[in-house]
Structure 1
Amino acid sequence: MSHDLTALEQWAGALLAQLEPSARSKVNQLVAQDLRRNQQQRIKAQQTPEGAAYTPRKPRKDLRGKKGRIKKQKSAMFTKLRTATHLKIKSEAGEISVGFFGRVARIARVHQFGLKDRVARNGPEVQYAERPLLGFSHADRELIKDSLLRHVDQGIKK
């Protein structure tokens, strides 16, 4: 896989080297937005980068609320985490990155690698299942190629 990323980096580097720095940073920003959009859709579909479904949540014992009412049981994981507010883009002339930064990064790291963490501030420590939020698949590499070609082509036509 690292060989594929190295080949993609060399190919994209040669293509981007032909652009002026301002156009290069604009193309990088647009490619990063496309990549973030793709990652958001995958997280919304509750799938790992390889396409497997996330490990489901453990069933909750406290589903009875006030006066015998039963709360809604199923809800998608990571609804707020996948928003553009938390899934950020950093792009410069030579590189782009899509990821979680700051306090949200700790939550994402716990789920990405299946670490132990506390459910609440003074709550019990729980071993979380591994649910990779970010990663590269073959489709992501193809998306980067297509997006780069599309945006460079639009930049040349203008």
Structure 2
Amino acid sequence: MADDLSALEDWACTLLNQLQPKERSQLNTRIARELRRSQQQRMAAQRNPDGTAYAPRKARAQLRQKQGRIKRKMFTKLRQARYLKLQSTANTIAIGFVGRTARIARTHQYGLRDRPSKSSPDTRYNRRELLGFSSDDLNMVRTSLLNHLAEWSP
């Protein structure tokens, strides 16, 4: 995947250098929004960037469970635009989490240890890649770049 990303970067670099900084900034903002939307949709579908399903939650020990209860999906609030921030300039695009949500996301992204609450012991979390490039994301970046360059003619 990293090879595909570097190949896309090499290919697009010469084309992007022909654009003015304002046009590059607008293009980067549009691409960043589309990337954030695709990351949010992938988190809602509970999928890793390679298409595999997230590791299921661990079963909680309860005395009685409600029958017919709808299971909640993971990361419902974390995928909101309020927490999933984007920054774009003429040269860069950054999508990520900030503050306490970044700590939670990092724990799941890399499968680290954390305490769910102050009184609970350390727990090892399964790896669930919240952010990452899929092949569809790379194709989306490529097509949006080509569409923008097709509209822009020097």
Counterparts in 2 of 1:61 and 1:71: CA distance versus 1, 3 Å: farther
Question: AA paired with 1:35?
Answer: L
Are residues 20 and 124 of structure 1, via their aligned partners in 2, closer, same or farther at CA, if it must alter by over 3 Å? Answer: same
- RMSD between aligned alpha carbons? 1.9
Does 110-119 or 99-108 show the bigger shift?
A: 99-108
Give the Å deviation of 1:145.
Answer: 0.5
Q: Which whole-Å CA distance do the structure 1 matches of 2:41 and 2:117 have between them? A: 28
* Corresponding residue to 2:74 among 73, 77, 88: 77
Q: Residue 116 of structure 1 contacts residue 126 of structure 1 at CA under 8 Å; is this kept in 2?
A: yes
In structure 2, C-alpha distance between the alignment counterparts of 1:4 and 1:94, rounded to whole Å = 19
Q: State yes or no: 1:127 paired with 2:132.
A: no
Q: Which residue number corresponds to residue 133 of structure 2? A: 136
Q: Distance in 1 between matches of 2:41 and 2:68?
A: 27
Aligned 8 A contact 1:63 1:71 in 2:
no
Q: In 1, distance between residues paired with 2:116 and 2:68? A: 20
Other-structure match for 1:9: 9
The one-character-per-residue Cα deviations of 1:83-133 (angstroms, maximum 9, x if unpaired) are: 111111111111111111222111001001111100112322111111111
Q: Report if aligned partners of 1:113, 1:130 keep a CA contact under 8 Å in 2.
A: yes
Query: Corresponding residue for 1:101?
Result: 98
TM-score, with length taken from structure 2: 0.90
The alignment covers a number of residue pairs equal to: 153
- Give the TM-score of the pair, scaled to structure 1: 0.87
- Identity rate, percent: 50
| Contact 1:27–1:152 (Cα < 8 Å) also in 2 | no
**1:87, 1:151 → 2: CA distance?**
25
Q: Which runs of 5+ in 1 are unaligned?
A: none
1:45 aligns with 2:52: no
Distance 1:54 1:91 in 2: 29
- Give the match's secondary structure for 1:106: helix
Q: State which of 136, 144, 148 in structure 2 corresponds to 1:147.
A: 144
